[in-house]
Chains A and B, each alone.
Chain A
């Protein structure tokens, strides 16, 4: 079983749609959680951190369920510029280090 699992997509949605991405992780000792965005042939960029209480940043809402080891990202009112790959990321923080474990990414294409 992969440490972080995501549906690879692609998700093709019309502009203005609401889209949800899900992710599961296997290590119950994981400490922190993130969504990164990666544009084609570019580096990953932090979109938002994910907390059990849920957090919202404009059109983006992230949620963590530690009991189910499940992370979600909701994008409302999709824009063309949201087209990218969204990476679910878990930080194990084991052995005093800072190791990020990435899912394979979910590709989003927002269309007119």
Chain B
């Protein structure tokens, strides 16, 4: 069975641009969470979606937004990119809305120049 998949694997953007990252959860999982991991730090929670509804939001600016589609895949959008947005963006899926084990995808490595 396929695990969590993310695309693209790598991305280079310039300041001020917009980026869309994509995630497909494990088959049968209905919850997707997004995390940002900057170098030398642990992942930081950005969003959680379950059954297409936002269930949680971390301490990130409004430039960050996300949505979940009927097939449970998800997109993370970041507007007006800053140099500090350079990071590994991780998607995690779980079967339910709370307390279940989360499984991570390989991530999208974003570099903002």
Contacts and interface: CB of A to CB of B under 8 A. Distances in A.
Interface string B44-55: 110010100001
Nearest to A105: B42
B79 interface: no
B29 to A, nearest CB: 11
A87 B104 contact: no
A43 interface: yes
B16 to A, nearest CB: 27
Interface residues of A, number: 26
Contacts of B94: 98
A91 B98 CA distance: 9
A94 B96 CA distance: 14
A97 interface: yes
A96 B42 contact: no
B68 interface: no
Contacts of B98: 93, 96-98
A84 B45 CA distance: 22
Interface stretch (A44-52, A56-64, A68-76): A44-52
A97 B42 contact: no
B107 A101 contact: no
A1 interface: no
A22 interface: no
B104 A93 contact: no
Nearest to A45: B104
A66 interface: no
B65 interface: no
A48 to B, nearest CB: 11
A101 B33 CA distance: 12
A64 to B, nearest CB: 15
Contacts of A103: 42
Given A46-B103, A97-B48, A100-B33, A87 B42 contact: yes
5 contacts: A4-B42, A44-B90, A98-B56, A98-B96, A100-B102
Interface of B: 31, 33, 35, 40-45, 48, 50, 55-56, 58, 90, 92, 94, 96-107
